[in-house]
Amino acid sequence: MSKRPTAWFRVSFMVLLAVAITGCANKDMRDLKQYAKEVKARKQGRIEPLPEIKQVKTFTYRPEDRRSPFTPTSRGEEEVEQSTTSGIAPVRNRRKEELEHFSLDSLRMVGTLERAEVMWALIRAKDKTIYRVKAGNYMGKNHGQITQITESKIELTEIVPDGRGGYRERQATLALKE
């Protein structure tokens, strides 16, 4: 027996297809016209008007009796001089330690060790590496130097910009996380 469709099967399939296609065609479009009429008869929506734009009072700069807005005030100059002469500044020519590549809030103290009367702290960085530090080591992005290590915390002194061209010291603590 042949697997190819017979001529009778082909003809009957074509006739059924033609009947199905002609059955879908409706030349009477009353229902479509009725729907279009209903849509047009619906109440139209109201569009809210745009909000009124408030006029801003303009200001004209007249330099006759005023200082230039682009030069600093004399009081500001004195403050900058005073802050830069405070003597506090980060040491720039030293080699950065590993933990100075991480921000202080991304570091976690996970334990302590004491060896030869030196207290060491164990620090986990966000890359899951454990580092061992002692007093005098640096950590954090703000030039933080470890001043003291206890069993429950690390105390450090950071050197941060004061916003006036100088630096100031800030105390920070990293507590043991259980």
Residues of the chain with pLDDT under 70: 1-5, 23-27, 73-86, 178
- At 4 the pLDDT is 63
Q: What domains lie within the chain, and their CATH numbers?
A: 96-175 (2.30.30.830)
Greatest C-alpha distance within the chain = 111
- At 92 the pLDDT is 82
- Give the count of beta carbons closer than 10 Å to the beta carbon of residue 138: 21
